[in-house]
Structures are given as structure tokens and as C-alpha cells.
A and B are shown apart, each in its own frame.
Chain A
Amino acid sequence: MMPEDSDKNPAGSPKDDQVKIMVCAGTGCKSSGSMDIFDQLKEEIEELDGEVKIGLLSDNGHGDLDEVEVEISGCHGFCDEGPLVRIDPMGILYTNVEVEDVESIVNMTVKKGELAENLCYRSADGEVFPKEEEIPFYRGQQRMVLGNCGKIDPESIESYEATGGYSALEKAMTEMSPKEVWREVLDANLRGRGGAGFPTGRKWQFAYEEEADQKYVIANCDEGDPGAFMDRSLTEGDPHRVIEGLATAGYATGASQGFIYVRAEYPLAVKRMNKAIDDAYEAGYLGEDIFGSGFSFDMKVKRGAGAFVCGEETALISSLEGEAGRPHPRPPYPAHSGLYDKPTTINNVETLGNVPMIIQNGADWFLDIGNENSPGTKTFAITGDVQNTGLIEVPMGLTLREIIYDVAGGIDSENEFKAVQIGGPSGGCLPDKHLDIPLDFDSLQEVGAMVGSGGLVVMDEESCMVDVAKFFLNFIQDESCGKCTPCRDGTKRMLELLEKLTAGEGEDGDIAKLEELSNYIKEASICGLGQTAPNPVLSTLKYFRDEYEAHLNDECPAGVCFD
């Protein structure tokens, strides 16, 4: 599944001759103490006084080099095995590194060129995998949008430029008209990665065709779906890619101001995006007359303040205007009348992360990846009861079974697989019989789920599906903005019914009431939050109805309820 010619992939690793030891500084690895490892490594490497020789290099035809740099990197997605340390250009990945291991990294690998085998990833059957790309978790992946994450220093613009960064923006602004840019994205059939799958080029076209003295573009990084963290990883691990994508969107639609709306829960993403924007201004990729094209574009980070509904675009706009983030009915669509009533384009950050590659390599290149109606890749956060939890990027159309068993290594215990929850509170729980459907926008909708932002939470037989449905309704109740009655009161009534069921107080007719309410709420809610709120209940009712019925007889097959 890897692209045949990796040189064409602008997300490849930097082709530097220098040895780089990169310590992961993503939120996951940082929480396991990676910054202490970074400090210790840096100190010990500096003490080496330049007398360094990494023998491993000669095997790779790189010859002997005497310079070693210690840098930070963004998230590799393999958070479960963190803290991670990568050594390039060899592509070695050390896992579960502790401060005490720094000594062996320096003495063995750096000084003698020997592999510290105890730090390499070891599969369940004992096989040792020294190189990151060869680890089973990565083998089935095709990392394009996340291609730089874990391989470059996210706080260095030079690091991004070395991978070909900002050359797509230059190409767009100096060789293409705005119309050619959105046309290319439309031809590539790039669909919105935030969940709905609307064609991005079409969105850009709508905004482009509006006549206005001011237009806006917004990168949506209000990643509120529980179980999803791809936007966080991308903004923390490769912030310049998001800037490049958003500036391209600005050029294509004729917007001179861009905002990146980042949720408050991601302080590191805010910090990295702010630094990246400052550096991009400094380098002339933002500001006045970019690349001498006559096009000027400004960009700012706006922080959210903790409201799930603000991921919905009309609510996000209210929030940017300084109000409570309550949605309003569409039309008018933001492309026509959005922020301050001006034409506004809102794209998810992962969507924007695809844009530089499409501009650089063309629509046909993109159409060859993934499947027919959903070209490209999709990132998924795979978590829950699997061996390898983390963030992955795979071609669209891979099956759930391939992701759960091949990439994530299957269930992490002797227990049986029960369900995979996909798409967050708007998505659904799918049973084993649906694991072979291809993961793309259209196939999932047919079975009552959605790609959503890409959270996959795998649950084994110890999870109770009624309790899971209650969990989501609880979430929705908390996050409903309260504007429309079906969502505000309807989901409350649904939650009460689920609480009755899980407390052993369910009555005949409760299940029918749940279904009836679900249908009303779907039909009558103002925004996407309410319209999809009943999905977790409907999908569990569809595939695990027997569990609901068992609860009516005071039985919880998973042994979760009535404790």
C-alpha cells in the first residue's frame, strides 16, 4: 500500500546527512517523561565534544559522520510504547525509553554504532524490530498527512522546509490562479476529514464565487470527539503543514484573513501553532505580498473555551465572534454568510493537511490513493481494548478488521471482541459481522455509522452496550447547547430511560420509547450534534438488541450494570 515512488511523497523524511536523535515531545510521550530524556541526551551528547561516530550509518551507505543533533519531534502515534526516541537517517526507533537508558543510547549506539536491542520494539512472539517503518503497527499504514510527525522538529520552520514545506504554497501562488487551485482540489475529490465528507474543492468554489470586500478561512481544530486526537497530533507535530494548507485555502477563495480555532484542552498545540505562525511571518509565507504574488494573508490562533458543539461550523463562528457557541440553522451557509456575515470557509485541519500534497503532486496522484469515492488516506485514533493503541493513517477503504487485527494487533487480552465504536457521539457501535466493510465515507453510512473525525474505540466482551449508549447520551446531555428542544429535552428523556434500564428498573415499552424519541430528535434538531445524537443508541439497538432486552430482566450480560 506504500506509494511506489516515495520521492514523490513530500512527506518523506528529511534527506539530511546529519545524524538526528529525535525525542518525541507529543503530549503522550511528554506525560511519560520524554523531556527529561531529551535534556539528559542533549547534555551527554554535548559532552562528547564532537568525537562521535555512528557505525550503523556505514551499513546504510551514509559513510561516517561526526555530528549528532538532539531534537524534539512531534507525535509518532505509537503513544502506547512511549517515550519514543528516533534516530535518523537510519530510521531506528527506541521504545519505552527511560532516563536511565540515555547512557546506553550514547555509549552503545552513538559511540560504538551498536543497536540497543533491549530498547527496540519487540512483538508478542519475540521478534525485534529496530526500524520504525518495519514495526507491524506502521507496516499497514500510509503516513502522508502525518508523514512529518515524529520525524521533524515541529518548532523549526527550517525542519519543515527541508521536507519541501511551503513549496506547494509557492506553486499555488506563483503558478496557479485561485480557480485552478480549487479546481485541482475538487478534481482530487478531497472530502472533509472532519466527518461529513463534503468535497473540499466545492466548499472553496462556493466561497470563491461570492463577491465580498472581506472573506475568511478557518481551520477547525476544535477536536471535541471523545476518542479522537488526530488534529492535536497534527497541530503539535507538524504545525506548518496546517498553515500552508490554510494559506492555500485563503488564496483559492480570496480570503485575506485566516483563523485556527484550537480547543482549550490542547495548550501545546496552541503554543506550537503560535510559534509556527510567527516563524511563517518572519519567513514571508504570511503577511503582505507573499512570494511577490500580490496576495496578502494574515493568520491568527483563536482558542476555544471547552464546548463540544463549537466543532459545528455555525457554532464555531458564534464563538469566534465572542458569543456563546450556539449553532444556527443553515442556510445561510457560511460560504455565503459566515463570520461577521462575510463568506467564510471552514475546513478541518486534517483536510488542510492534505492540500499541500495535492497541489504539489496533482489531483491524479491523489486519486490513485484510497478508494474510488473516498480517495486519499484517513487518520484514525485506535484505542480501547487493543494491543497497540495510537494514531494511525491508512488508505481509505481498508477494512476495520485489517485495522484492528493487523495494525493494532488485535484484542489485548483473552477476551472476545465485542464492538468497535466509530465516529464518536455521532457515530455508532459495529459488531464483528461488519468488520469487513471498507472504511470510507459512504460504506459506513450504509451500516448506521460514520467515519466522523476518526475515533475507533475497540471494546471487548466486558463492555456493556447499554452502558456505552448511556455514556454517550450523558456526554450529549452535557454538551447540548440548549437552543433547540429536541436535543435539549429529548436527549435528557433518552438518558433517563437508559438510566432506568441500567439500574434494573426498565419496563416494557422503554425500548420502543427510545426508538421513537431517537427518530424525533434526528428529524427535528437544528444542528449536527442533535441530528446525530441518537446514533449510539440506534446502532446498539440494531446490533445488540438482546442486551437491551436482557436488562429488562435485570440481567447485564457483560456484568457491568447492577453492581
Chain B
Amino acid sequence: MTQAQKVSTEEAGVDRFKFIDDIIEEHGKSPESLIPVLIDIQEESGYVAPEVQKKTAEKLDVPASRVHSVVSFYSYFSSEPQGDHTIGLCMGTACYAKGAGDVLDELKDELDVEEGGTSENGTFSLSVRRCLGACAMAPVMMVDDKVYGNLTPDGLTEILDEYRD
């Protein structure tokens, strides 16, 4: 790597992590802001990349291990890039009793992904969630922030089409 390249990477690096400063400013620079800061990073970027975790640790002055422990502990965070849209299928008791298992199988089939995976074209990530609290509409899933209820395996294509280009 030439000196010029190195400098430009560093400059890009400074820019790349600038958004973390903005988020930290909003929540206050203290260790207890860690979770709110990470939530915002997750929402803004769709994931919390390992290098972002390290930078956040430096900026908040907490050990990197603590940031990693928080990111890996809570299911809200992901350390890998996600698809453009996140599908969270509920697997709470009511959904389970109302056939969410069949819906999951159909989703995996239709998107050709496994639980926790992202479809090849990068449009959807599929995750299984623990009760979305919309049990009266079971089975339920969320696509990004929108809730869909009374799901049937047959009705999935129509919903997914709303998000396909």
C-alpha cells in the first residue's frame, strides 16, 4: 500500500465512523449509553460490524469485549450485513399453535434461505422472533416495522411482492 493510499483509507475511515459520534452525542458519552447507541447504529446501518463495535468501544471508553458481549447477547443486534428488508416471523406460543411452523417452511422455500440467513439477491433476511405480542392475529410476522397477521403459507407471496422491486 502506498503512502497516498494509506492516507486516503484513513481519511475514509474517519468519515466512515463519523456517524457513531453523532449517535453518541445524542445519548451522552457514558458507558450506560452503550445499548441505546448500539440500537441506533443497528437501525441506521442494519448491523453492527466488528470494526464499528471496536470504534464504539473506543469512543465510549469501554472495553471492546463489553461491546461484543452486548452485541452477541441481545437478539436485536446483528454483526453481519442484513438484507434490504428484515422478516421477523413470530414463533410465540399462539403462533406456534396456529401453524407458524408451516409458514416458516414456506418462507424458507420461497426465499431459499435458512433461519438467520439473507436471500441471494440481498432483498430479505429471515429471522425467527420470540413473540411479537400480536397473538390475536396469529400467525404473525413483521417485515421491517410493519406487522402482518393471520398468515397462511399461500398468502406469503403477495406480501413479499410488496417489497420486491
Contacts and interface: CB of A to CB of B under 8 A. Distances in A.
A225 B136 contact: no
Nearest to A319: B35
Given A31-B147, A31-B149, A323-B66, A421 B93 contact: yes
Interface stretch (A165-173, A260-268, A435-443): A260-268
Contact of A383 (B73, B74, B77, B136): B136
B32 A303 contact: no
Nearest to B137: A28
A390 B136 contact: yes
Nearest to A321: B32
B133 A264 contact: no
B34 A322 contact: yes
A514 interface: no
Contacts of B93: 226-227, 383-384, 421, 424, 455, 457, 471-472
A324 B74 contact: yes
Contact of B96 (A229, A321, A424, A471): A471
Interface string A385-424: 1000111000000000000000000000000000001001
A475 B135 CA distance: 16
Contacts of A325: 73-74
Contacts of B31: 321-322
Contacts of B54: none
Nearest to B148: A31
Contacts of B104: none
B134 A223 contact: no
A225 B94 CA distance: 11
Interface string B59-102: 00010001001100111110000000000000111111110000
Interface stretch (A87-95, A152-160, A304-312, A495-503): A304-312
B160 interface: no
A457 B139 CA distance: 13
Nearest to B136: A79
A457 B146 contact: no
A249 interface: no
Contacts of B45: none
A80 interface: yes
B52 interface: no
Interface string B28-71: 00011111101100000000000000000000001000100110
Given A28-B149, A306-B74, A457-B93, A322 B32 contact: yes
Contacts of A421: 93
Interface in A208-233: 223-229, 232
A412 to B, nearest CB: 10
A558 to B, nearest CB: 12
B143 to A, nearest CB: 11
A252 interface: no
Interface string A226-261: 111100100000000000000000000000000000
Interface string A528-559: 00000000000000000000000000000000
Nearest to A236: B133
Interface string A15-38: 000000000000110111000000
A317 to B, nearest CB: 11
B122 to A, nearest CB: 23
Contact of A223 (B77, B133, B147): B133
B138 interface: yes
B16 interface: no
A463 interface: yes
A421 B38 CA distance: 36
B133 A27 contact: yes
Q: Name the residue among A79, A264, A383, A421 with the largest chain B CB count within 10 angstroms.
A: A383
A320 B77 CA distance: 16
A308 B35 contact: no
A302 B70 CA distance: 15
A389 B136 CA distance: 5
A381 interface: yes
A459 interface: yes
Interface stretch (B1-9, B18-26, B124-132): B124-132
Given A320-B32, A383-B135, A479-B130, A305 B97 contact: no
Nearest to A326: B73
A418 to B, nearest CB: 11
Given A31-B146, A307-B73, 12 more contacts: A226-B96, A228-B133, A229-B135, A306-B74, A306-B130, A307-B74, A322-B34, A384-B94, A384-B97, A455-B93, A459-B97, A478-B130
30 contacts: A27-B133, A28-B136, A30-B147, A31-B137, A31-B140, A31-B149, A79-B137, A225-B131, A226-B91, A226-B96, A226-B131, A227-B92, A228-B135, A229-B135, A267-B145, A305-B35, A305-B39, A305-B75, A306-B74, A306-B75, A306-B130, A322-B33, A322-B35, A322-B62, A324-B69, A383-B98, A384-B97, A389-B94, A389-B136, A475-B130
The 6 lowest CB-CB distance pairs between A and B, nearest first, are A226-B92, A79-B136, A305-B74, A383-B94, A229-B133, A226-B131
